[in-house]
Amino acid sequence: MKLVLALAALWLAPASAQAAGCWLEHGVVVVPANVGGVAGDYILDTGSPTTQLHETRAQMAGLPPAFRGQVRVDGLKLVDRPVVVVDLDARTYAFPTPIAGVIGADLLSAYVVDVSFAPCRVEIWPAAKAPRFGAESSLAMAMAGGSPVVDAAVADGPRTAVGGFVVATGLDSSVRLSEALASVPGARAEDVAPYGRLRAELRALSFAGQLFEMLKAGLQPQVTGAVGAIGPPVLARWSLRFDFPRGRLLLRRP
């Protein structure tokens, strides 16, 4: 039997000022970058398996629907990296500044990536050069569908579910659950899907030894190896280290 989410009011996180090369817009991490010669503001999304360029920007630059090119982000210069051109209007229409694309896990997965939310800070390190982090918690992190996944548990009251959740710095909700795991009675599927106009409410999430209650939530298509995704409103309780080479997610209090 599926978990049941209750409809809730639309929620958008407030933006914060830029700090140390990144900032938050509508709750997601945004960084300056250059992809295929297109400089601009990019969502840094550990939950996206691909690096993407907004269709409008790609057309202006004369780029094809998919290509390999140079990427510059946080001091890194990466060459011959795959980029997918997609329409990001539904995802970014409410942002106060234009978003050029998405920096995805396909670029990040060879590195150690540190993310803090208050103030916003992103640092990308070669594994051998990453400084000491001083983690308070360490979670096993696997890759599923090209994105990092850790174990967590959710409940709607009478029903609970345990499984892998994508850890996504670009997610538009506190948590999203697979359409195969949960439902939202009274709502159309497209309205509670990613970037839809409504938010549902999840009774509880247990993650990294912490209990979160009455979270803004939604549904998403099934991801192989995961039952849902966890976003910045939950992740912002900690500073994070995505140690991709060692398969660990490290957490510490800011």
C-alpha of 131 from chain center: 24
Q: Are residues 177 and 124 part of one domain?
A: no
pLDDT in tens, 89-98: 999 998 988 9
Indicate if 56 and 142 belong to the same structural domain: no
CATH code of residue 62: 2.40.70.10
Confidence of residue 223 (pLDDT cuts 50, 70, 90): confident
Express each pLDDT in 133-160 by its tens digit. Answer: 999 999 999 999 999 999 999 999 999 9
What token pair was written down for 176?
């999203």
Q: Identify whether 122 is part of a domain.
A: yes
The pair of structure tokens assigned to 149 is: 């996944």
Task: Name the 3-class secondary structure at 148.
Answer: strand
Percent pLDDT > 70 in the chain is: 95
Same domain, 113 and 157: no
The pLDDT of residue 235 is above 90: yes
Q: What is the 3-state secondary structure (H, E, C) of 97-123?
A: CCCCEEECHHHHCCCEEEEEECCEEEE
In angstroms, the CA 25 to CA 129 distance is 30
- Asked if 118 and 157 sit in the same domain, the reply is no
136 shares a domain with 235: yes
User: Does residue 148 sit in the same domain as residue 166?
Assistant: yes
Residue 162 has which token pair?
A: 């345990």
Domain limits for position 47: 23-129
Mean pLDDT of the 23-45 span? 95
**Do residues 227 and 143 both lie within one domain?**
yes
Q: Is residue 226 part of a domain?
A: yes
Q: Which of 108, 129, 150 is the last residue before a domain boundary?
A: 129
Structure tokens belonging to residue 55: 């269709």
Where among 94, 129, 164 does a domain terminate? Answer: 129
DSSP characters over 46-114: TT-SS-EEEHHHHHHTT--SEEEEEEEETTEEEEEEEEEEE--HHHHTT-SS---EEE-HHHHTTSEEE
Do both 143 and 90 map to the same domain? no
Domain tally, the chain: 2
Model pTM score: 0.92
DSSP H or E stretch at residue 232:
helix 232-235
98 in the same domain as 122: yes
Residue 18 resides in a domain: no
Q: Do 82 and 148 belong together in one domain?
A: no
Single out the residue in 82, 104, 129 at which a domain terminates.
129
The CATH number covering residue 152 comes to: 2.40.70
CA distance 20 to 121: 5
Top pLDDT among 238 and 96 is at 238
Helix (H, G, I), strand (E, B) or coil at 162: strand
pLDDT at res. 188: 93
Q: Is 235 in the same domain as 178?
A: yes
